[in-house]
């Protein structure tokens, strides 16, 4: 699953490495990705910032229990696996100094593919204007650090709510691990209203769950099925009848079942829910991944092209969810994850229909996550917005454009389908009960968009 592209492989060899350094070319490194049994972080993790807040006390205990080695100083001769900085007590921009003071020496001592995780509070909950400014400033700092880091290291921000900091532990662990290899420069919002249901086996957090993945015959969908299966879920793999052969192969590989359904069919949702119920006893996780592009400049886009993209990528989700979110569909405490795109955030030349559909997906997340009925049932709804991911969809892009798309991000390489799948598996776990209504870009901090 995890193969670097040809250029990345070249610049990590002897001659290529020297050539890239001499010519000042991008020097991507093979990213640290999760493998079963891997340590939760790759080296000791420095904890700093406002060192004695409830947020950091809870995190320290949780990280230690999860097997992370913590340190409060930068040990001589040792490379750090990561830095976690707690800024939850910041009340004015002057308090940001403790972030600088922690990060400045630590950044020089980071190991390959290390992680910077900043923990702060939601700006909207601030009780004064200076406090709101300080909280918001964390986003700018984290994103800048992400752009300064080299050698596969990433920086992300986790916003927590007062009193429920424990719910952030799963997010911080995800960010320290190889599961978040291509997640960079992102803001993770952890809500307040639910305790973290934990105690799951960290290697099989989805054990006993039934998950449906649409568009599972190939590309990102196939790796979502593999990753959810690896994490313990029984996976129902859905794709069009024309992809039946590869769909069956993926379903067999993950020990799940295949269901040939066109997601645009009126009865698609009802058929998926019925299959999950009758074959597997219910439904816990739905991943709406199936998607298409029909790229043209808007001036050259006819009604048929426009409608097909909107229908597969957006309207089908609305229609299917009538059955999937009904009482006999997704179980209480269920998880729904949608696949958007950075094109839906930044827009893209020639992709107005696709961008409309993928921005619409973000609207769906906002709408469902605020739905009181779904909140009462403990159902969370989140989305991933992939950037440039190495799949058949992106292999069709002309070479020069493809190479630009691949390099224009902080990690100077395209992501792999498994990178998107890992973030989806993160959202799908019981431990993420307090994470809903968020959109996380899996884009290596692409320079396109926000």
Q: Note the residues at the interface with ligand NAD (CB under 6 A).
A: 214-215, 217-221, 239-240, 243, 262-264, 289-292, 312, 339, 341, 386, 388-389, 391-394
Minimum CB separation of residue 288 from ligand NAD in Å reads: 8
Minimum CB separation of residue 315 from ligand NAD in Å reads: 11
How many residues in the chain? 450
Which of 420, 387, 423, 386 minimizes the C-alpha distance to 402? 387
Minimum CB separation of residue 218 from ligand NAD in Å reads: 4
Alpha carbons 430 and 105: distance in angstroms, whole number: 37
CB neighbours of residue 6 within 10 Å:
8
Residue nearer to ligand NAD on the CB measure, 194 or 218: 218
DSSP single-letter state for residue 434: T
Is residue 51 within 8 A of residue 86, CB to CB? The reply is yes
Minimum CB separation of residue 363 from ligand NAD in Å reads: 15
How are beta strands 70-71 and 45-49 bridged, if at all?
Answer: parallel
Residue nearer to ligand NAD on the CB measure, 139 or 239: 239
Residue nearer to ligand NAD on the CB measure, 116 or 182: 182
Is residue 183 within 8 A of residue 154, CB to CB? The reply is yes
Is residue 298 within 8 A of residue 306, CB to CB? The reply is no
Alpha carbons 129 and 36: distance in angstroms, whole number: 46
Residue nearer to ligand NAD on the CB measure, 7 or 102: 7
Minimum CB separation of residue 390 from ligand NAD in Å reads: 8
Is residue 154 within 8 A of residue 115, CB to CB? The reply is yes
* Residue 403 structure tokens: 């190479």
Minimum CB separation of residue 300 from ligand NAD in Å reads: 21
Q: How far out from the chain centre does Cα 280 lie?
A: 27
Alpha carbons 348 and 180: distance in angstroms, whole number: 25
**What residues are annotated to the active site?**
354
* Max Cα–Cα distance, the chain, nearest Å: 64
Residue nearer to ligand NAD on the CB measure, 8 or 161: 8
Alpha carbons 380 and 366: distance in angstroms, whole number: 11
Q: Phi and psi at residue 338, in whole multiples of 5°?
A: -110, 155
The continuous run of DSSP H or E covering 247 comes out as: helix 244-254
Minimum CB separation of residue 182 from ligand NAD in Å reads: 11
Residue nearer to ligand NAD on the CB measure, 46 or 421: 421
Alpha carbons 312 and 293: distance in angstroms, whole number: 10
Specify which residues 210 forms β-bridges with.
Answer: 234
Minimum CB separation of residue 392 from ligand NAD in Å reads: 4
Which of 150, 119, 116, 109 minimizes the C-alpha distance to 50? 119
CA torsion sign for 434, 439, 441, 447 is negative
Residue nearer to ligand NAD on the CB measure, 157 or 418: 418
Alpha carbons 389 and 431: distance in angstroms, whole number: 27
Residue nearer to ligand NAD on the CB measure, 233 or 383: 383
């Amino acid at each position: 699953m995890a193969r670097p592209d040809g250029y990345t492989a070249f610049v990590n060899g002897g001659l290529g490495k020297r050539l890239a350094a001499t010519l000042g070319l991008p020097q991507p490194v093979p990213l640290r990705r999760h493998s079963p049994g891997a340590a939760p972080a790759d080296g000791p993790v420095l904890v700093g910032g406002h060192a004695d807040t409830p947020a950091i006390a809870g995190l320290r205990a949780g990280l230690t229990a999860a097997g992370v080695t913590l340190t409060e100083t930068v040990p001589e001769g040792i490379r750090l696996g990561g830095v976690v900085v707690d800024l939850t007590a910041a009340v004015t921009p002057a308090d940001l100094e403790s972030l600088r003071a922690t990060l400045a020496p630590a950044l020089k001592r980071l190991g390959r593919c290390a992680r910077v995780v900043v923990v702060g509070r939601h700006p909207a909950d601030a009780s004064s204007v200076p406090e709101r400014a300080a909280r918001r400033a964390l986003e700018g700092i984290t994103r800048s650090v992400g752009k300064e880091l080299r050698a596969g290291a990433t920086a992300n921000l986790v916003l927590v709510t007062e009193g429920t900091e424990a719910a952030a532990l799963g997010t911080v662990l995800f960010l320290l691990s190889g599961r978040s290899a291509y997640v960079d420069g992102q803001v993770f919002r952890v809500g307040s209203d639910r305790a973290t249901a934990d105690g799951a086996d960290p290697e099989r957090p989805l054990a006993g769950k039934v998950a449906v993945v649409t568009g599972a015959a190939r590309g990102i969908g196939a790796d979502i099925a593999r990753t959810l299966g690896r994490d313990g879920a029984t996976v129902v793999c859905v794709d069009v009848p024309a992809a039946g052969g590869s769909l069956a192969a993926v379903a067999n590989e993950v020990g799940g079942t295949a269901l040939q359904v066109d997601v645009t069919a009126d009865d698609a949702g009802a058929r998926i829910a019925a299959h999950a119920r009758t074959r597997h006893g219910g439904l816990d996780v739905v991943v709406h991944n199936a998607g298409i592009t029909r790229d043209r400049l808007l001036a050259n886009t006819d009604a048929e092209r426009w409608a097909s993209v909107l229908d597969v990528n957006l309207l089908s989700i609305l229609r299917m969810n009538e059955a999937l979110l009904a009482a006999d569909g997704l179980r209480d405490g269920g998880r729904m994850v949608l696949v958007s795109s950075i094109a839906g955030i930044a827009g893209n030349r020639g992709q107005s229909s696709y961008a409309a559909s993928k921005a619409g997906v973000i609207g769906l997340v906002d709408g469902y996550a605020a739905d009181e009925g779904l909140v009462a049932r403990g159902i969370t709804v989140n989305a991933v917005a992939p950037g440039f991911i190495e799949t058949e969809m992106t292999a069709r892009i002309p070479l020069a454009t493809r190479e630009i798309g691949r390099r224009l991000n902080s990690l100077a390489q395209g992501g792999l389908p498994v990178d998107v799948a890992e973030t989806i598996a993160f959202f799908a776990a019981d431990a993420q009960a307090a994470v809903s209504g968020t959109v996380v870009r899996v884009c290596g901090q692409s320079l396109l968009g926000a």
